[in-house]
Structure 1
């Protein structure tokens, strides 16, 4: 009878002992860190990976990730220095560097994300509110985000939250839907203005080119006409000189040639001449 009762007791003791043993041991991975609490009061923090022990039933463990964590929030509106409203979609990289302070101030990652969102948003409003839209989107973007990251991390340190904000970046910066059409219209009008300016400058340049071409044309034609007259004058002078020389050698023969040319020109099939018989024009046509 005693032996029959002892077996269940032994089994119960083994079960209770196993449960106690399991509850008193815990394993920590390389990407984890843990705080051990006793009735809600912090006892110690453990960062070394491996097998560790605690007081069963009385102490409990809370695990935190020691890797970089993502922080991504819904887009929020920010007003720039030139009174432009931007819908800013940003994200951040952060990590828990002091589990003890993190547990005492924040307890959970959800609470930490809410606090980080408030810190980053306030810094974004401060920095972007002192810069224009062009500076935020293009020229000063990297510098601004570095400043936001630095000040956000400094504020988290001042609050002793046990976290480090490593990086803050902008995923997207859009205009509110109600402003997009007006901005697009302004951009369209600006492009049209630039196009009109280029066309006007092109027409002006074309007129200059045409005027210069016309001027060169007039100069070339004038020089050509001058050259033509000079050549024609030289030719006429040579012709006159040759004619005078020929006339001086045989005046009668020259007169005869000139008369033949006059006959050829005047006596055509459709010409009618009324001349006297003694007309000098008919000198070389006379039979006498």
Structure 2
């Protein structure tokens, strides 16, 4: 038998085993690819967000319930929109008040997406939604503050500011609903109000002048009140003194009358003593260092003066 007719079974079996390994590897690769494609097209909807599923650029559905979701591979894509309330810092704007004063108003707003489908259809992007809302807020603020005087706006009374904020919110939400923008303004607040730099100095001077005028009014009122109090006090003092003098004169008169009555009663008991007492009193009134008296030596007046009492 020729050697060419002899077949090595081991050599024939080796290619068959390699083909089996190749098949297993190919199946594994396919399975791994399918799993990878499956996992890449799963997405998670978290609390506080919308997932927008698009197909060839068109919105096919919006997922808003938390959980694991699936999209069609290769032809669908997913974008995210916030579901929670957001803060929008409105750029500072210059407005004119009713009394023709210029001022800078700085506000911030709280807003959220209420209908993501309408927002995407009628607005487009998140940034465009903020821009539209900012324009509407500025227009409403300018309209509301333009009906007030400058002093009313800068007043620190939160009640008046709160009323302005509510009216601005109503105006903006009416415009947003009318155009089906799918967003809603939940609150708007004034952070601060400033004056344009070119107006600050003039306003400060006016404020200083007004304060000085007010202070002068207070001083004038104080002086007038002080003069009134002094006049009333002087009048009351004169009345009190007049009453006291009248009372004193009355008491003195009563005392003198009572003393005279006592003198009369006392002197009436001894007329001679009374005559002596009156004579002595006359000496006090008429005689001094230079007095010269010419009297008869035997007159009673001279005798008493010289000490002869009998």
TM bracket, shorter-chain basis? 0.7 to 0.9
Single out whichever of 151-160 and 56-65 deviates more from structure 2: 151-160
1:1-288 to structure 2, matched below 5 A, reads 1-137=18-154, 138=157, 140-262=160-282, 271-276=289-294, 278=296, 280=299, 281-284=301-304, 285=306
What RMSD in Å do the two structures reach over aligned CA positions? 2.5
Q: Residue 265 of structure 1: CA displacement? A: 7.2
What is the rounded CA distance, in whole Å, between the counterparts of 1:124 and 1:273 in structure 2? 110
Q: Which has the larger radius of gyration?
A: 2
TM-score, structure 1 normalization: 0.87
**Per-residue CA distance 1:226-273 (angstroms, 9 max, x = gap):** 2333333333333444444444443322222333445567778xx354
What is the rounded CA distance, in whole Å, between the counterparts of 2:114 and 2:252 in structure 1? 105
- Kept after mapping to 1: 8 A contact 2:90/2:109: no
- Kept after mapping to 2: 8 A contact 1:35/1:46: yes
Q: Residue 158 of structure 1: CA displacement? A: 2.0
**Per-residue CA distance 1:167-223 (angstroms, 9 max, x = gap):** 222122222233233223222222222221122112112212211222222222222
- Kept after mapping to 2: 8 A contact 1:94/1:165: yes
What is the rounded CA distance, in whole Å, between the counterparts of 1:45 and 1:10 in structure 2? 36
What is the rounded CA distance, in whole Å, between the counterparts of 2:256 and 2:62 in structure 1? 122
- Kept after mapping to 1: 8 A contact 2:49/2:80: yes
What is the rounded CA distance, in whole Å, between the counterparts of 2:26 and 2:79 in structure 1? 34
What is the rounded CA distance, in whole Å, between the counterparts of 1:183 and 1:126 in structure 2? 23
Change in CA separation of 1:63 and 1:253 when aligned onto 2, cut-off 3 Å: same
Which contiguous aligned blocks of 4+ residues in structure 1 show a shift greater than 6 angstroms?
264-268
5+ long unaligned stretches in structure 1: none
What is the rounded CA distance, in whole Å, between the counterparts of 1:286 and 1:126 in structure 2? 119
Single out whichever of 134-143 and 208-217 deviates more from structure 2: 134-143
What is the rounded CA distance, in whole Å, between the counterparts of 1:52 and 1:246 in structure 2? 135
Change in CA separation of 1:70 and 1:234 when aligned onto 2, cut-off 3 Å: closer
What is the rounded CA distance, in whole Å, between the counterparts of 2:173 and 2:307 in structure 1? 132
Q: Residue 88 of structure 1: CA displacement? A: 1.2
Change in CA separation of 1:93 and 1:286 when aligned onto 2, cut-off 3 Å: closer
DSSP 3-state at the match of 1:45: strand
DSSP 3-state at the match of 2:104: strand
**Per-residue CA distance 1:16-36 (angstroms, 9 max, x = gap):** 212210222111112121121
What is the rounded CA distance, in whole Å, between the counterparts of 2:180 and 2:293 in structure 1? 138
